[in-house]
Amino acid sequence: MIWKDGVPKADGVDDWRDSAVIGGICHLFDLPLKPMMSLYLTEHGRIIRCPGDDPCDTSRDNSIPPIAAAYRSGLIEEYRVTIERTLQTNLFQNGDLLSPAHRGFLKYVLYGKSLSMFEALWLNLDIFFTAKFQPLAEPNQLLCMLKVLDRIYLKRYCYFNPYWRQGIRKYWGSDHKREAGLAEHMILDIERDIL
């Protein structure tokens, strides 16, 4: 992992556009170096992928990890404006739709509300769909949500997806990212969580 001006990037990429994702993972998976999560907010409270980036380009995949990390770090108030805007419009900054599972997650981190039955059902469907049809797909967004919500969801994901370790290794250990050490750290952290 390469650090510059207090933010990380994957060793194998040329740009810093996944910095918010990696920054969130550093907090959620308890890596020794952690960026200040406020670096991923504009002065108007919008999430950015990296300092100096256009907030309109920030997707759901880029938003969930820093929001989860801000919650875990006790800094969720700094993200209040963007979370409330997302809940009001039912859209993330780049126009990605807000599913009931994402809505429940955002209400949980901002207001401390438990997921409704419908939101929990949707999250379980996300878990089962991913496990059955996309077991090796990019796991970051879902794993960051599961690290914050009730541990039963993370256990369920790992139980129903026997390839979850390979999915993390495939994404982070690829020639594109070259972060095999991060992948192994995430796996060990999850294994401790699901015991």
Flag whether pLDDT at 182 surpasses 90: yes
Residues 6+ apart with CB under 8 A from 67: 24, 47, 76, 79, 82, 83, 106, 109
135-161 pLDDT, tens digit each: 999 999 999 999 999 999 999 999 999
Distance of CA 134 to the CA centre of its chain: 17
Mean pLDDT, rounded, of the chain: 94
- Percentage with pLDDT > 90 across the chain: 84
pTM (whole model) above 0.75: yes
Strand partners, 2: 9
Flag whether pLDDT at 178 surpasses 90: yes
Phi and psi at residue 97, in whole multiples of 5°? -70, 150
Sequence letter at residue 181: G
**What percent of the residues of the chain are helix, what percent strand, and what percent coil, each to the nearest 5?**
60, 5, 35
pLDDT at 57 (0 to 100): 79
Residues 6+ apart with CB under 8 A from 147: 28, 29, 68, 72, 154, 193
Q: Is the alpha carbon torsion for 193, 75, 82, 115 positive or negative?
A: positive
Cβ-in-10-Å burial (0-12, 13-18, 19+) of 165 comes to middle
Q: How many domains does the structure of the chain reveal?
A: 1
DSSP SS3 for 3: strand
What does each C-alpha distance from 13 to 1, 25, 176 come to in angstroms?
A: 10, 17, 6
Q: Which of 143, 172, 153 is nearest to 24 (CA)?
A: 143
Q: Which domain holds residue 121?
A: 2-193
